[in-house]
Structure 1
Amino acid sequence: MANQTAGRRGQWLWAVLLGGALLIGAPPLAAQTVYRVVDEQGRVTFTDNPERGGEAVVLAPLPGVSSSPSAVSPPASQPSGKRSPGPPFMPYDRFTIAYPAHQARLNSATTAVEIALSPALRDDHQLRLRLNGEINQSAMHSDAFWVANLPAGVHQLQAELLDAQGRVRHQTPVVRFHVAP
Structure 2
Amino acid sequence: MKRALTLSALLLLASSPLLLNAQIYQSIDEDGNVIYTDQPPKGQESQEVKLRPTNTTPPLATPKQPEVTNPDDETTDQEEEDAAPEKYKISISSPTNEAQIPMGQRDVNVSVSLEPSLHADHRVQIYMNGAKQGEAMSGTSKTLKEVYRGAHTIKAAVVDKKGKTISSSESVTIYVQRPSVLFPKPKPTPSS
Aligned match of 2:79 in 11, 23, 28? Answer: 23
Is 1:115 the counterpart of 2:112? The answer is yes
Contact between 1:155 and 1:177, CA under 8 Å: does it hold in 2?
yes
User: What's the TM-score, normalizing by structure 1?
Assistant: 0.50
What is the CA–CA distance in structure 2 between the aligned matches of 1:150 and 1:127, rounded to whole Å? 20
Task: Identify the match of residue 145 of structure 2 among 148, 159, 162.
Answer: 148
Pair 1:23–1:163, CA change in 2 (3 A): farther
Aligned-pair Cα RMSD in Å = 2.3
2:124 matched residue in structure 1: 127
Structure 1, gaps ≥5 residues long: 1-19, 27-86
Shift of 1:22: 7.8
Asked if structure 1 preserves the Cα contact closer than 8 Å seen for 2:84 and 2:119, the reply is no
1:16-35 superposed Cα distances (whole Å, 9 cap, x missing partner)? xxxx9683389xxxxxxxxx
What is the aligned partner in structure 2 of residue 98 from structure 1?
A: 93
Cα distance in structure 2, aligned partners of 1:178 and 1:110 = 13
Amino acid across the alignment from 1:159: A
CA deviation map 1:9-65 (0-9, x unaligned)? xxxxxxxxxxx9683389xxxxxxxxxxxxxxxxxxxxxxxxxxxxxxxxxxxxxxx
8 A Cα contact 1:22 1:88, kept in partner: no
Greater alpha carbon shift after TM alignment, 144-153 vs 129-138: 129-138
SS at match of 1:105: strand
Q: Which has the higher strand share?
A: 1
- Unpaired runs of at least 5, structure 2: 1-75, 179-192
* Structure 2: distance between partners of 1:163 and 1:22: 19
Is 1:160 matched up with 2:157?
yes
For this pair of structures, how many residues does the alignment match?
Answer: 101
Pairing of 1:3-14 with structure 2 (within 5 A): none
Counterparts in 2 of 1:41-52, with a 5 A limit? none
Q: Helix, strand or coil: the match of 1:156?
A: strand
Q: In the aligned structure 1, how far is the partner of 2:130 from the partner of 2:120?
A: 26
Q: Determine helix, strand or coil for the equivalent of 1:139.
A: coil
2: distance between equivalents of 1:22 and 1:167? 24
Overall identity of the aligned pairs, in %: 21
TM-score normalized by structure 2? 0.48
